[in-house]
Amino acid sequence: MMGFYDDIRADLLAGRWERGQRLPSIRAMAAQRRASLHTVVSAYGRLVGDGLLEAQQGRGYFVAVQGPLAAPAAPAVEPALPDDPLFRLLQAPPGSVVKLGCGWLPLPWRDTDLLARAIRRTARLGRSGLVEYGDIQGYVPLRQLLSAHLRQAVRLDAAPAQMITTLGATQALDLVARHLLSPGDRVLVDEPCNGNLVRLIRLCGGEPVGVPRRQDGPDLGFLDEVLARHRVRAFFCNSTFHNPTGAGLTPQAAFGVLRRAVEHDFLIVEDDVYGDFHPGGRQTFAELDGLERVVYIGSFSKSLSASLRIGYLACPQDLVAPLVRLKLLTSVAVPGFCERFVHTILADGTYLRHVRAIQRRLATQQQLTQKALRERGWRFEVAPAGGMFLWAGHPDLPDLAGFIEGLEKKGILLLPGPAFAVTADYRAMTRINAAHFSPELARAFRV
């Protein structure tokens, strides 16, 4: 793999193809040089990152017209985590493969014109915002708008003083886990769940315990069994469009968890990053609890832009100062420019219009995807009406590893079920992102 990238790079620098010329397709190149599709994908991706190639969606790869072709050959930039399947998924360049197992919306769904215009508008505003550290707790006008947004969307009364902006929801989860957890603390999580959450909890000294997620919410019977045996510090839980099952939360389930949280004295850390994909009145823990023992986390990475990394949390009053202090010590502040950008987008109604369009498309995609998969024998315990995710298996495939490998050869990337496990065996399952599904892909799912 190292050899192939170097070979193509050397050819490029030696002028084998003209600037602007189209390179052989991934399949053709793989056949010509007897390399795997994955090797070619990876090399083309790196060469795009080097500025030597340009990827034109639907048309292929071209030798870059501008860029460092005349520069002295820089050493190859190796990916740091080559073995991590989520990492490989993240780093495969757009247009080279179908990232059917990823956790974000396709590039064509993003209104990049809107984003670019809003960026330019933001750059014309208050110049001190371009250079100063700003409010460490988070740009005040943004916190006020977020407070209004939550009041309207979630019927939650979160004062701006109880809100903190963060570098995406990930930093919010890290600040809370780092502050709350002592070594050995047991921490409940959904099962299945985001594998990086499990790793984060362990990093902070916690011991993750999975609670099976059903269509209506966490499995209360299982929860009672765990609580009978152990003390528990917190429950980190996705409320709306759970990752990876797409499950939601009924009022009864929310109340059931909250009641136990009061009785057994644990906190709920509610990750609602997919909440804005919900068209109507979604159920949250925070609404019932009013930020007594719930920390509510949201983000704009999924619905707007992962590149701007703006997330936020709303928390109980006594957690504000320690979390702000932790944010100050470890990162000082979130980029003020990005905060002002999100403020711009929220204040003029752009965000709401954008998100309603996404809600409608996701509903359509879910129907299309579920129909196509069901017709080919695939099964899913939860059939979501929206959001991105579908957690599926096939009764004839007790282990999907071979199937996933076969799909990779066809340029379709899925994550193996075990990537979402705490202790359960999910070899028979995989997460499908309905936003990336299309009728052409359906035949690949014939078993």
Residues between 296 and 335 that touch a copy of itself (CB under 8 A): 304-309, 320-321, 324-326, 328-335
Q: Degrees (nearest 5) of the Cα angle 10, 13, 16?
A: 85
Select the residue interacting with a copy of itself from 132, 224, 265, 425 (CB under 8 A). 132
Select the residue interacting with a copy of itself from 136, 363, 385, 444 (CB under 8 A). 136
Find the part of the chain contacting a copy of itself (CB under 8 A) among 3-11, 26-34, 78-86, 416-424: 78-86
Q: Degrees (nearest 5) of the Cα angle 171, 175, 178?
A: 130
Pick 97 or 261: Cβ nearer a copy of itself: 97
Pick 51 or 418: Cβ nearer a copy of itself: 51
Q: Applying CB under 8 A, does 26 fall inside the site for a copy of itself? A: no
- Give min distance, CB of 210 to a copy of itself, in A: 18
Respond yes or no on whether the N-terminal peptide bond of residue 24 is cis (omega within 30° of 0).
Answer: no
- Give min distance, CB of 128 to a copy of itself, in A: 6
Q: Applying CB under 8 A, does 144 fall inside the site for a copy of itself? A: yes
Gap between the Cα atoms of 402 and 380, Å rounded? 20
Burial class, 361, CB count within 10 angstroms (exposed 0-12 / middle 13-18 / buried 19+): middle
Q: Applying CB under 8 A, does 77 fall inside the site for a copy of itself? A: yes
Using a CB cutoff of 8 Å and minimum separation of 24, what contacts does 206-211 make?
206/177, 206/181, 206/233, 208/422, 209/422, 210/421, 210/422, 210/423, 210/424, 211/235
Select the residue interacting with a copy of itself from 2, 31, 65, 74 (CB under 8 A). 74
CA 235 centroid distance within chain: 20
- Give min distance, CB of 118 to a copy of itself, in A: 9
Residues between 202 and 221 that touch a copy of itself (CB under 8 A): 203
Return the closest-CA partner of residue 432 out of 447, 423, 422, 420: 420
Q: Applying CB under 8 A, does 276 fall inside the site for a copy of itself? A: no
Looking up tokens 């809003």 gives: 118
Burial pattern 97-114, b for ≥16 Cβ within 10 A else e, equals bbbbbbbbbbeeebbeee
Pick 14 or 80: Cβ nearer a copy of itself: 80
The packing angle between helices 251-264 and 220-229, to 10°, is 10
Return the closest-CA partner of residue 116 out of 341, 358, 295: 341
- Give min distance, CB of 446 to a copy of itself, in A: 31
Residue 347: both structure tokens together: 């204040």
Q: Applying CB under 8 A, does 124 fall inside the site for a copy of itself? A: yes
Q: Applying CB under 8 A, does 51 fall inside the site for a copy of itself? A: yes
- Give min distance, CB of 46 to a copy of itself, in A: 8
Q: Give the distance between the most distant pair of CA atoms in the chain.
A: 71
Select the residue interacting with a copy of itself from 58, 70, 133, 440 (CB under 8 A). 133
Q: Applying CB under 8 A, does 350 fall inside the site for a copy of itself? A: no
Residues between 158 and 187 that touch a copy of itself (CB under 8 A): 159-161, 167-168, 170-171, 174
Q: Applying CB under 8 A, does 70 fall inside the site for a copy of itself? A: no
Q: Applying CB under 8 A, does 227 fall inside the site for a copy of itself? A: no
Return the closest-CA partner of residue 153 out of 312, 39, 378: 312
**Torsion (CA) 95, 100, 103, 107 in degrees, nearest 10:** 30
**Backbone angles phi and psi of 245, in degrees to 5:** -85, -20
Mark residue 10 as left, alpha or beta (left: phi above 0; alpha: psi -120 to 50; beta: remaining). alpha
Pick 67 or 256: Cβ nearer a copy of itself: 67
Select the residue interacting with a copy of itself from 49, 281, 398, 439 (CB under 8 A). 49
Binding mask 382-421 for a copy of itself (x = CB under 8 A): ----------------------------------------
Q: Applying CB under 8 A, does 2 fall inside the site for a copy of itself? A: no
Find the part of the chain contacting a copy of itself (CB under 8 A) among 111-119, 239-247, 286-294, 410-418: 111-119
Residues 6+ apart with CB under 8 A from 172: 164, 166, 297, 299, 311, 312, 313
Task: Please work out the total of residues on this chain that contact a copy of itself, with binding judged by CB under 8 A.
Answer: 78
Beta bridge partners of 163: 314
Pick 81 or 401: Cβ nearer a copy of itself: 81
- Give min distance, CB of 218 to a copy of itself, in A: 24
Q: Applying CB under 8 A, does 278 fall inside the site for a copy of itself? A: no
Residue 426: both structure tokens together: 């999910």
